[in-house]
Amino acid sequence: MRIVVVGGVAAGLSAASRARRLEPSAEILVLEKGRRISYGACGLPYLLEGQVASIEQLVVYPPAFFEKERNIRIRTESEVVAVQHGRREVVLASGERVRYDRLVWAAGARAARLSSARRVFRLHTDEDALRLKQFLECERPRTAAVIGGGYIGLEAATALRACGLRVRLYHDATTLLNREDAWLTQRVAERLEQCGVEVRLNEPADAEGVEAEVVIDATGMRPNVEVLAEAGAALGRTGALAVSEHMETSLNGVFAAGDCCEARHIVSGREVWIPLGTTANKMGRVAGANAAGRRERFAGVAGTSIVRAGGLAVAVTGLSQQQARREGFSPVEAVVEGRERARYFFGKTIAVQLVADRRSRRLLGAAVTGDGGVLARINTAAAALAARMDVETLAGLDLAYAPPYSTVMDPLLVCAQQLLRLLDH
């Protein structure tokens, strides 16, 4: 059996590696259109500001590792331009045809907008980051504009400010991070302003027309679905590939994983498109297992993520109050501030938001911001969402305490208790 994987980053290599473990006799080939595989795209902002010394440090494994250690063939600079599923072949840009028995489509996503202007950049791929870094080193710009208030936009603004540029962030909505949380946006905007980033909300900007010596267009991404859709694969309501819980597309023997496809949201039960590296890896494992003949399932996503904005950690999971209301829930929200550890251990302020459904009292979402202690709290909330936990159960969790690490009543539990009082009224 020959398994061909299209895409050599998170989802693709997870799929190939999982398939190899389960089916030692399979022939496995990975086709990657770029020059590098297995690199951490989430580290690109840190490469830009100098915390990562070189792009090579972001590479987890070189092609030789997969070929020698896992018997997986890797072909870089091999772009797939067509899929002829009736013939079980993919067609490369060179015109070469590659046969497959099972196909895993892990082609990821791309920037939503493209620009040919010399001073306009994206920060999505390794080549994007290298071109931008070279421009900064050679041209020495003093002013920068970042367009887009999502994860990439906030990280790019933080990185450029760390490089000494005067930075202005434009966003076409009133709230950041696609979260529709005014309190969260206020905290993020305040921190960015403190760090010297000018934040302009509800102000659309054109990448080629904005006044700045260098511009980062971070207005969003688009799933790479066109080639597989032309072969007959169905798209979902979000415009990404529709897949089953087994990562199957509508084409028999073709699976998809990562930023190119939808997933079921574990809170709303609806299909969503939330491109994240952690999700891509897990999807890839399921797709690879099932391409090798297993019948594993992907449990779904909560959209759990964390981002750094001006040194502030900002993390979310599940639904905001506004999102929950649109999904038909009757949401109640509580927001509290506390300390991430004891005051005499120089504990810093941390803010916790919890959202629950008034009717079922089930937890629907959470957000946490602070200079420390954010990751543990958001991960606990994510686990609670996966368990479909109600607020009473969350408030009674037996969480660890020691002064260097927490307060005696953890802010997450304090927020849950506050939410219980609101639910009871």
Q: Please, are residues 249 and 241 in contact by the beta-carbon 8 Å criterion?
A: yes
- The pLDDT value recorded for residue 245 is 98
Q: What is the 3-state secondary structure (H, E, C) of 138-188?
A: HHCCCEEEEECCCHHHHHHHHHHHHCCCEEEEECCCCCCCCCCCHHHHHHH
C-alpha 124/C-alpha 111 separation (Å) is: 7
The pTM score is 0.96
Tell me the torsion sign for CA atoms 308, 309, 311, 315. Answer: negative
C-alpha 283/C-alpha 295 separation (Å) is: 13
Q: What's the average pLDDT block by block, 10 residues per block, for the chain (425 residues)?
A: 97 98 98 96 94 94 95 98 98 98 98 89 95 96 98 97 97 95 96 98 94 96 98 98 98 98 98 97 98 98 97 98 97 97 93 98 98 97 98 98 95 98 94
SS3 283: helix
End-to-end CA distance of the chain: 61
C-alpha 39/C-alpha 57 separation (Å) is: 9
C-alpha 108/C-alpha 259 separation (Å) is: 4
C-alpha 258/C-alpha 353 separation (Å) is: 28
Residue type, 206: D
Domain layout of the chain by residue ranges: 2-35+76-110+222-291, 120-217, 311-423
Tell me the torsion sign for CA atoms 207, 211, 216, 220. Answer: negative
Q: What angle do CA 181, 381, 174 make, to 5 degrees?
A: 10
C-alpha 119/C-alpha 41 separation (Å) is: 22
Rounded to 5 degrees, φ, ψ at 338 are: -155, -160
- The pLDDT value recorded for residue 399 is 97
Q: Say which CATH topology domain 311-423 has.
A: Enolase-like; domain 1 (3.30.390)
SS3 118: coil
Q: Does domain 2-35+76-110+222-291 have CATH number 1.20.1290.10?
A: no
Note whether 2-35+76-110+222-291 and 311-423 share their fold.
no
- The pLDDT value recorded for residue 425 is 84
Q: Please, are residues 194 and 310 in contact by the beta-carbon 8 Å criterion?
A: yes
Give, in order, the Cα–Cα distances in Å from 149 to each of 44, 87, 192: 17, 44, 12
The DSSP H or E segment spanning 127 is: helix 126-139
Q: Say which CATH topology domain 120-217 has.
A: FAD/NAD(P)-binding domain (3.50.50)
Strand 109-111 with 221-223, pairing: antiparallel
| Cβ partners under 8 Å of residue 386, min gap 6 | 266, 299, 302
Residue with tokens 């859709």: 229
Q: What is the dihedral of CA 90, 91, 92, 97, to 10 degrees?
A: 90
DSSP 301: B
- The verdict on whether 261 is a catalytic residue reads no
